[in-house]
Structures are given as C-alpha cells and as structure tokens.
C-alpha cells in the first residue's frame, strides 16, 4: 500500500501526452481532473519519486492538474495516479505501432448518441491496444465537435441566427463567456470519460492538433463580418483555452516546450522519437480566407522541421489533407451558383482552395525538401473528410510523399454520392509542383478511391520499414501499404 491509495478517485484522466522519447526513456505529461477541494493527485512513476501534481486551472467546481515526468523505455512501464496503476509501452527503439484517428463527433446531437453506436471504432482501437499496445495515439483534428457551443447562452444563439453582416452587433458579455467555457469544459470531460477513451488516454501517450470543429465549423474561412465579430472571437478564446488545457495538456500561461512559438499565436508543435518525429502544424489559429498559416505558424513549422535529424521519418499531421482532388474546379463551378456560401467555406478550408494555392505550393515544397534534401521519408496523415483514402506525390528522385486520410473515428459516413463525386473529381489529377503529379488512390484491397466507412489508421514500423493499414467499420482491416 502506498500513500496515494487513500486519495479520492479522479473525475477524469489520467490522460498522457507524448513529449518525445530516446532509446532509454519517454518524456510525458499526465493530466488529471478532480473535484474542487480534493487534494492534489499523487503521481508515482516507475523509477521516479512520488509527487503531487500541479494545479493548472480551477473550472466549474473542478481542478485540472498536470505533471511532467519520464518513464524508462520498457515494454510495459508503470505509473500510478492516486494509487491506480497503469502501464505504457515506452520502448520506441525498434518495432512499434502508432494509431491515428480524427473526427470524433458530429455537428449536431453528438451527445444524444448511445455509446454503443457512437464509439464502435474507439472500442475496437482500445481492444487492439490491449492485445498489442500502441506507443502513440495521434489525433488529427475535430477531437471535439463544439458546434453546439452557440446554444450555451441565448445571446450566442441569437448571434448564430443573424445574417452574417449583422453578426458584429452582438456583444460578448462575461455571462456568455462563462456559459461557453462551461460547455467546452463539460464536453472535454465527457470525451475523456468515454470508456474506450479512458483506457487509451491512460495507456497511450497522445499528440493532438485541432481542426475547425474544435472551435466551430469552418473557423478561419468565414467572411470578416462573422469571423471578426466579438462573439466569434469570444468562442475562439474559449475553444483555445480548453484546447491548450485538454489537447496540449498545458496551463493557459505555460505552453509546453514542444510549442516553439512562445507568443502562442501558433500552436504548431512536434516531438522526436527514436528514428522518427511527429510534426503537427496548427492550421487554424491564424487562418483567414486568404491564408492558412501566418508568420508565426510558418516560423514554427520551419523551426520544428529543422530540428528533425536527417534521415529520420517525418510524420506530418495535417488536419486537412495536403494532397487531394482538384477542388479549385468545384470552387470555380460554384461561382455560377450564388448563395452557396456554406460550400464555399468548406472548400476554402482546403489546401487545394484557389485562395491558398501559393501557400499550398510553399507547404508541399517544404515537405519535398525534407524528403529529398534531408533524406527523411515523409508521411502525411489527415482527417477532415469523413472518408478514407490515400494519395501520392511522386518526387524527382523517384520516391513519393504519401498522404493517408483516416476519418472519422465516430463521425457518421457521408452519403455515397459524396464518395463517388469526389472519386470522379480525383481522376482529373493535377500537379501543384511542376512535374510532380498528385495521384489519389484506393485503399489497399479496395477499388474506389474513397471508402465511406468509419475508420482509424494504424502505422507500423517493423525492422525499420513503415507500413499503414486502415481499420474500416464494415470491411475490417485493409492489407498493409508500404509507405
């Protein structure tokens, strides 16, 4: 019996965040939520001294705590929080498996769905983990569908109903901030309490980057009257506060060292592991209809890329796919159909939007440089589209950048027509970088380019070779694809 055995059980957590690893140890942060007034949770890591966790926030009758710690590299390294034991696979020196998920929810009524139906794929992932533990869980956007945050207060609801040009007239009052923050807090708590998520978040260190729904649908791609209205900025501030806390595992005034932009304008972050690195550009914080990332974001991306050793694999988590069909064509078509604002925002969210073409080329050029000049095989993993697919961009040296799309872990599949339409569009092909054509392809074992089933992705490294396989709700596991 240890001193922590008598401490109260947690309200949520522990949640593990990956900060990097060497062949001898893993660097981690753990987060836990208690009731307000409960004592600090006690963390007891294998090979380290017991310690009280640090309080990062007091919110809505609860306290949120974190602690940075290391675990020795092992098949099953142990830690305890308030006496409860957990194990983590921290040996990242050789063969390993990484899970990738995205789109954990739906725009409306996400909370009304039964765990039975909603979390089928989460349960499958947790089961898989229990028989062969993952070393990392990457979450590529829309970890939370917060679209209904606007219903938290009558004035935010009124703002939501107003025509775009009248949105600036609604003020952001403290009571609205409180209601919206309360909504986010409650939803994040729910997320971490989901039974399969509990197993995974306590046993697999995670890295997450947000997409629009972690804020609200289309964040950054809306016209200025909406985007810059006091209520939109208030919603963003609440979403960001909770993102930093629950997705980055950090205090509001103390960003983790994996975030290079100390000003916090960009929450791009990265971590290095033996033989590979994970890079998560923040494609939302600085987004406007005319740009995907601002100066802070580009500086942060350049600096995290520069720190990856030559030859190491780069896994880039791009919340929206970096390779996709020629959506600029659809945008051009929509010009003939006025009143399609909703679709225009969705298209503007994409790297392929004609409004982002120069920046898209800059992004792909940066990735190509990593792959060729720094000899780092590069894999992009993305979500966003609620379909599974993959793409390749052939490089000058004969190698390819792989784009793997896995979405969503709980978001329902879209209508079949969507998969077919995108499939047709993808046949057109294009080459944003001259002479390096982008090709979209079916998943291994499938004939159509897009698969409309809920899914997650598993990346495997065996004897230094990486492969990817999708787990599909109805068709099961795809054959592995070398990447």
Residues that bind Fe ion (CB under 5 A): 103, 142
Specify the residue, 145 or 184, whose C-beta has the smaller distance to Fe ion: 145
Pairing of strands 276-280, 269-273: antiparallel
Listed residue (155, 287, 296, 162) closest to 234, CA to CA: 155
Q: How far is the CB of 10 from Fe ion (least distance, A)?
A: 29
Cα dihedral 377, 317, 128, 461 in deg (nearest 10): 10
Q: How far is the CB of 62 from Fe ion (least distance, A)?
A: 27
Q: How far is the CB of 384 from Fe ion (least distance, A)?
A: 5
Q: How far is the CB of 53 from Fe ion (least distance, A)?
A: 32
Q: Do 86 and 76 touch, CB atoms closer than 8 A?
A: no
Specify the residue, 199 or 409, whose C-beta has the smaller distance to Fe ion: 409
Listed residue (188, 243, 187, 203) closest to 15, CA to CA: 203
Q: How far apart are CA 287 and CA 219, in angstroms?
A: 8
Specify the residue, 414 or 444, whose C-beta has the smaller distance to Fe ion: 414
Q: How far is the CB of 402 from Fe ion (least distance, A)?
A: 21
Q: How far is the CB of 112 from Fe ion (least distance, A)?
A: 18
Q: Strand ranges (DSSP E) for 22-135? A: 25-35, 42-45, 51-52, 54-59, 62-72, 77-81, 84-88, 96-101
Listed residue (49, 47, 86) closest to 205, CA to CA: 86
Specify the residue, 110 or 142, whose C-beta has the smaller distance to Fe ion: 142
What is the end-to-end Cα distance of the chain in Å, rounded?
Answer: 47
Specify the residue, 70 or 106, whose C-beta has the smaller distance to Fe ion: 106
Q: How far apart are CA 244 and CA 252, in angstroms?
A: 6
Can you give the length of the chain in residues? Answer: 483
Q: Do 150 and 160 touch, CB atoms closer than 8 A?
A: yes
Specify the residue, 321 or 432, whose C-beta has the smaller distance to Fe ion: 321
Q: How far is the CB of 102 from Fe ion (least distance, A)?
A: 7
What is the rounded radius of gyration, in angstroms, for the C-alpha atoms of the chain?
22
- The tally of CA atoms less than 13 A away on the side-chain side of residue 108 is 0
Q: How far is the CB of 130 from Fe ion (least distance, A)?
A: 27
Going by C-beta distance under 8 Å and a sequence separation of 6 or more, which residues neighbour residue 339?
A: none
Specify the residue, 142 or 370, whose C-beta has the smaller distance to Fe ion: 142
Q: How far is the CB of 104 from Fe ion (least distance, A)?
A: 8
Specify the residue, 117 or 482, whose C-beta has the smaller distance to Fe ion: 117
Q: How far apart are CA 483 and CA 392, in angstroms?
A: 10
Q: Do 96 and 461 touch, CB atoms closer than 8 A?
A: yes
Specify the residue, 144 or 176, whose C-beta has the smaller distance to Fe ion: 144
Specify the residue, 142 or 368, whose C-beta has the smaller distance to Fe ion: 142
Q: How far is the CB of 143 from Fe ion (least distance, A)?
A: 10
Residue 390 pairs with which residues in a beta bridge?
404, 441
Residue 426 pairs with which residues in a beta bridge?
none
């Amino acid at each position: 019996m240890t001193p922590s055995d008598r401490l109260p059980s947690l309200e949520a957590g522990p949640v593990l965040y990956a900060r990097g690893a060497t062949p001898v140890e893993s660097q981690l942060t753990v987060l836990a939520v208690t009731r307000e007034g409960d004592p600090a949770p006690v963390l007891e890591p294998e090979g380290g001294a017991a310690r009280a966790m640090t309080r990062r926030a007091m919110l809505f009758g609860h306290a949120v705590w974190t602690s940075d710690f290391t675990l020795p590299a092992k098949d099953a390294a142990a830690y305890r929080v308030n006496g409860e034991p957990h194990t983590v696979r921290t040996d990242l020196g050789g063969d390993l498996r990484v899970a990738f998920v995205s789109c954990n929810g739906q725009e409306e009524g996400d909370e009304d769905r039964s765990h039975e139906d909603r979390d089928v794929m989460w349960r499958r992932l947790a089961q898989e983990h229990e028989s062969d533990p993952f070393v990392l869980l990457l979450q590529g956007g829309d970890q939370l569908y917060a679209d209904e945050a606007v219903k938290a207060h009558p004035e935010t609801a009124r703002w939501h109903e107003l025509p775009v040009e009248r949105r600036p007239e609604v003020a952001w009052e403290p009571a609205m901030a409180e209601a919206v923050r309360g909504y986010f807090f409650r939803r994040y708590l729910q997320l971490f309490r989901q039974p399969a998520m509990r197993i995974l978040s306590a046993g697999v260190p995670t890295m997450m980057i947000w997409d629009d729904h972690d804020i609200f649908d289309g964040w950054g791609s809306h016209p200025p009257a909406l985007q810059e209205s006091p209520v939109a900025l208030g919603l963003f501030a609440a979403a960001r506060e909770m993102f930093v806390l629950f997705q980055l595992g950090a205090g509001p005034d103390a960003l983790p060292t994996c975030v290079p932009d100390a000003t916090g304008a960009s929450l791009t972050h990265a971590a290095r592991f033996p033989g590979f690195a994970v890079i998560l550009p923040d494609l939302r914080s600085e987004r406007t209809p005319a740009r995907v990332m601002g100066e802070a974001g580009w500086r942060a991306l350049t600096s995290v890329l520069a720190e990856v050793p030559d030859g190491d694999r780069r896994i880039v988590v791009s919340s929206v796919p970096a390779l996709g069909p020629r959506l600029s064509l659809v945008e051009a078509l929509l010009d003939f159909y006025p009143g399609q604002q909703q679709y225009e925002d969705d298209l503007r969210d994409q790297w392929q939007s004609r409004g982002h073409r120069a920046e898209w080329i800059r992004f792909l050029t940066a990735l190509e440089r990593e792959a060729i000049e720094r000899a780092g095989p590069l894999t992009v993993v993305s979500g966003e589209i609620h379909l599974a697919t993959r793409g390749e961009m052939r490089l000058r040296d004969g190698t390819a950048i792989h784009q793997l799309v896995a979405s969503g872990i709980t978001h329902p599949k879209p209508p079949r027509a969507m998969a077919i339409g995108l499939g047709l569009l993808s046949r057109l092909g294009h080459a944003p970088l001259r002479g390096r054509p982008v090709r979209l392809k079916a998943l291994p074992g499938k004939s159509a380019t897009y698969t409309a089933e809920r899914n997650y992705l598993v990346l495997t490294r065996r004897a230094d070779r990486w492969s990817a396989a999708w787990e599909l709700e109805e068709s099961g596991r795809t054959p592995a694809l070398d990447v």
